[in-house]
């Protein structure tokens, strides 16, 4: 995404049009803001275009009323690489149409997707009463919405950039009601479980002193993705929770050997990050959608073992162990101000 000044100007001019697709306008605004946070050059170009358009650079245009959200939040940083969470939630007529949460590893201008979870729905607007009104204004209907739209929902999972077969939750209203009445997903239900090889490297190096250096690094990642949901047709609300639990371990060994001595250094690096996405939906009188994205507390463990051995008439071996751990406190990732307002309204209703 590297638009020219002219292309960016056309995109901004669209925001001031009479188009009543507020969700699309909200998506465009948040996408531009998210991209500007990551790329300073684009941020300067965006600010320049906004300064040239005072009729757009105001709250009336930039404060769209849609529920769609696009955001990128840093999860961890290190000298070698950074980990970023990218979330895109597309809402249509007050109902989530397509949403995705993606974990990205970035190093300079290089970026790679390690895990992506996507949710897609279709036809669930009928549970909202079929009302297209948003804050007193009517949203335009697409041509496809005028025809019969079957109800369906599913999940897409991508691991290391490889897209797996989509998982279909239900197709048709009868199958949906069957899941609701039977409480199919009222308990945590696994959606994806697997173990992947992250590192596998072995290298020999002959030193000028005559010794041989042997390097070995091997790592693995185990992922457990599960979710649960609860529905109440009487109270017209729903609660969902999606949890990703990951276990990572890296083992490394450096061994330098002479004919009379051997020096070895081994290490084990392990940690178990988790991400929890919770959502509370209340559509009793008006739509209230509260989402909370959390990263629970995480502990990083490092074990080091250094040993030196002399091979002579009497063998001598000395081993030193050193272990340490670092606790990373949990935190809740800020989404946007509109979500904060919705969560305040939901919390106020739950207290009564």
pLDDT in tens, 95-126: 778 888 888 887 777 778 888 888 888 877 66
Q: Is the dihedral of CA 23, 25, 28, 29 positive or negative?
A: negative
CA distance 39 to 161: 23
Contact (CB, 8 A) for 232 and 269: no
Which structural domains are found in the chain, ordered by start? 1-66 (no CATH), 68-182 (2.20.50.20), 189-351 (no CATH)
- Look at residue 136 in the predicted model and tell me its pLDDT: 47
Q: Mind listing the pLDDT tens digit for each residue in 122-158?
A: 877 666 554 455 444 545 555 444 455 678 888 888 8
Residue 194, SS3?
strand
Query: Using an 8 Å Cβ cutoff, are 204 and 213 in contact?
Result: yes
Q: What is the per-residue pLDDT for 129?
A: 54
What pLDDT is stored for residue 323 in this prediction? 94
User: Which residue stretches of the chain have pLDDT < 70?
Assistant: 1, 78-80, 94, 125-149, 183, 185, 350-352
Q: How far apart are CA 121 and CA 156, in angstroms?
A: 11
Under 8 Å between Cβ of 122 and 152: yes
Query: Exposed (0-12), middle (13-18) or buried (19+): which is 99, by Cβ within 10 Å?
Result: buried
pLDDT value for 305: 94
Judge whether 272 and 246 are in contact, CB under 8 Å.
yes
Measured distance CA(286)–CA(38) in Å, rounded: 35
């Amino acid at each position: 995404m590297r638009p020219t000044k002219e292309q960016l100007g056309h995109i901004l001019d669209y925001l001031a049009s009479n188009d009543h697709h507020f969700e699309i306008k909200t998506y465009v605004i948040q996408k531009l803001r998210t991209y500007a946070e990551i790329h300073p050059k684009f941020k300067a170009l965006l600010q320049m275009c906004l300064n040239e358009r005072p009729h757009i650079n105001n709250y009336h245009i930039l404060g769209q009323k849609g529920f769609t959200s696009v955001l990128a939040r840093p999860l961890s940083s290190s000298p070698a690489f950074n980990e970023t969470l990218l979330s895109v939630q597309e809402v249509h007529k007050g109902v989530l149409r397509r949403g995705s949460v993606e974990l990205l590893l970035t190093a300079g201008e290089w970026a790679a997707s390690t895990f992506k979870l996507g949710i897609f729905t279709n036809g669930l607007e009928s549970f909202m009463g079929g009302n297209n009104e948003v804050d007193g204004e009517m949203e335009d209907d697409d041509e496809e919405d005028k025809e019969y739209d079957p109800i369906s929902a599913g999940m897409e999972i991508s691991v290391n950039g490889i897209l797996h077969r989509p998982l279909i939750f239900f197709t048709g209203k009868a199958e949906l009601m069957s899941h609701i009445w039977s409480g199919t997903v009222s308990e945590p239900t696994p959606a994806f479980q697997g173990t992947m090889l992250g590192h596998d490297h072995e290298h020999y190096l002959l030193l000028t002193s005559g010794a041989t250096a042997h390097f070995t690094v091997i790592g693995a990642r185990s992922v457990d993705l599960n979710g649960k949901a609860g529905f109440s047709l009487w109270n017209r609300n729903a609660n969902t929770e999606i949890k990703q639990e990951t276990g990572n371990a890296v083992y490394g060994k450096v061994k330098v050997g002479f004919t009379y001595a051997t020096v070895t250094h081994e290490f084990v690096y392990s940690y178990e990050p988790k991400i929890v996405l919770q959502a509370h939906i209340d559509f009793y009188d008006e739509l209230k959608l509260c989402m909370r994205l959390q990263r629970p507390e995480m502990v990083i463990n490092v074990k080091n073992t250094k040993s030196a051995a002399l091979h002579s008439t009497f063998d001598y071996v000395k081993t030193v162990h050193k272990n340490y751990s670092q606790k990373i406190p949990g935190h809740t990732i800020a989404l946007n101000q509109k979500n904060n307002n919705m969560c305040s309204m939901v919390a106020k209703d739950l207290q009564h």
